[in-house]
Amino acid sequence: MARFKFYALWLCLICIIVFVIQILIPAFTDLILLNQDAISNFQIWRFLTAIFAHGGLVHLLYNIFALALFGSMLEKFIGGRKFLLVFFASGILANLVAVNFYSSSLGASGAIYGILGALVVLKPLMMVWAFGFPMPMFIAGVLWVVAGIFGVFVPVDNTGYIAHLSGIAVGFLFGIVYRTILGRKRQVQQ
């Protein structure tokens, strides 16, 4: 098995550094944020850079906590390269969807929800603490999806629920692919 490289923690550090730059240079956020200006000016890098920008300290803290915890779990299970693929593909695809529904998008939530989606498929019975209770990962996944759907139809703040749902859908697909690959490897070994 590949050596654990702490990629989730490195990604958290990047988010923290970007946030410090956002605080020190407020105009920096406008350069990396995903919005309609980025689309009309063909600034495609913002689909990536927006993942590392955050709208405030609480937003950052929630995301780095989830990324450090669940990202490290997923990386340990599938390896660093596959983890990075899930993270970036989920984040970028969530942004591709979100930009069609919101005036702007920023944050690692779409990528993190991709990690959660992959874990739901790969480790459905793993116990996690979610919504104030310990529960199997698949139940937490169902609750995250239900909360996301509810948030789309009854928004209470500026949370990008559509990005969350897009990210978790991408993560589910990665989880299915990786679970299939792992199943085949086990059959070959027998």
Q: How confident is the model at residue 142 (pLDDT cuts 50, 70, 90)?
A: very high
pLDDT at residue 3 greater than cutoff 80: no
**What would you measure as the largest C-alpha separation in the chain, in angstroms?**
58
Q: How far apart are CA 138 and CA 116, in angstroms?
A: 10
Q: How confident is the model at residue 65 (pLDDT cuts 50, 70, 90)?
A: very high
pLDDT of residue 188: 66
Q: How far apart are CA 188 and CA 190, in angstroms?
A: 5
The candidate with the shortest Cα–Cα distance to 73, out of 9, 143, 163, 138, is 9
pLDDT of residue 100: 92
pLDDT of residue 183: 75
Q: Are 44 and 115 in contact (CB under 8 A)?
A: no
Q: How confident is the model at residue 46 (pLDDT cuts 50, 70, 90)?
A: very high
Q: How confident is the model at residue 115 (pLDDT cuts 50, 70, 90)?
A: very high
Work out the average pLDDT over 135-141. 97
pLDDT of residue 2: 57
Q: Are 43 and 30 in contact (CB under 8 A)?
A: no
